[in-house]
Amino acid sequence: MVVPEGLREPRLELGNGRATGYALVDFLKLQHGAGIETNWLIAKLIQGEKRVMATASIQAANGRATVHLVRVEIGGLAVSGATLDFLIDTFFRPLYPDAKIDEPFELSDRVDRIVVTPADARVYIKK
């Protein structure tokens, strides 16, 4: 797995129908590594490495899936609403423009459904 510049110690924990990711994130380095310039004021507000935790629920059946953010923490502070939307639009979407959050998307390669449990994530293929 290639870890982007600005991301350290990534870790993923699975639960029933959800996954929680943890990492140390330097948002400025992430953007710099992707060739994205950051507004000076925003750069001053977000500079430095932050501990980030994000939990998402995953619903997948009949060849479609939806991922919903359940909880996001940055530096131990919960982030939601307009602030979370701003962070997603500013830092996540430029790096992953095809990612879908809170909207259904088609699963590829004949995948019918994905079942996530604390032990594993199972992918079921259509016959």
Q: At 127, is the pLDDT very low, low, confident or very high (cuts 50, 70, 90)?
A: confident
- Whether 126 shows a pLDDT value over 70: the answer reads yes
Strand-strand pairing, 105-106 and 121-125: unpaired
List, for residues 23-43, the tens digit of each pLDDT value: 999 988 888 877 888 888 887
Give the pLDDT score at 57.
Answer: 96
Residue 78 CB burial class (10 angstroms; 0-12, 13-18, ≥19): exposed
49 alpha carbon, distance to own chain's centre: 17
pLDDT mean over 51-74: 95
List, for residues 38-54, the tens digit of each pLDDT value: 888 887 878 899 999 99
11-20, 33-42, 78-87, range with the lowest pLDDT: 33-42
Give the pLDDT score at 91.
Answer: 82
**Rounded to 5 degrees, what are φ and ψ at 7?**
-125, 125
Give the pLDDT score at 1.
Answer: 66
DSSP-assigned beta bridge partners for residue 111: 125
